[in-house]
Amino acid sequence: MGAEAFERFRLRVLEDVTLQDALRETPDTPAFVARAIELGAAHDCHFNAEDIHEALRAARRVWRERWI
């Protein structure tokens, strides 16, 4: 359920420049994760840090498979 909520939030971020800016302003990964969880909850998308880290790992895996 958390992974689905994160995906809904990710798609919302792609459409909303304000959310993109809020996440872009984070100084590091821990701050990004905390801010994403906060913003997600504000948009009724409830997920946790592990959901985000798993999505990041999956994105890295896809990138490596494409370019290596």
Percent of the chain with pLDDT over 70: 100
Using 50, 70 and 90 to split pLDDT, how confident is the model at 67?
confident
Sequence-distant (6+) residues with CB within 8 A of 14 are 20
Asked whether residue 1 carries a pLDDT value surpassing 80, the answer given is no
Average pLDDT over residues 14-36: 98
Cα distances (Å, whole numbers) of residue 16 to 23, 25, 31: 11, 15, 20
Q: What confidence tier does 55 reach under pLDDT thresholds 50, 70, 90?
A: very high
Distances (CA, A) of 46 to 20, 37, 56: 18, 7, 17
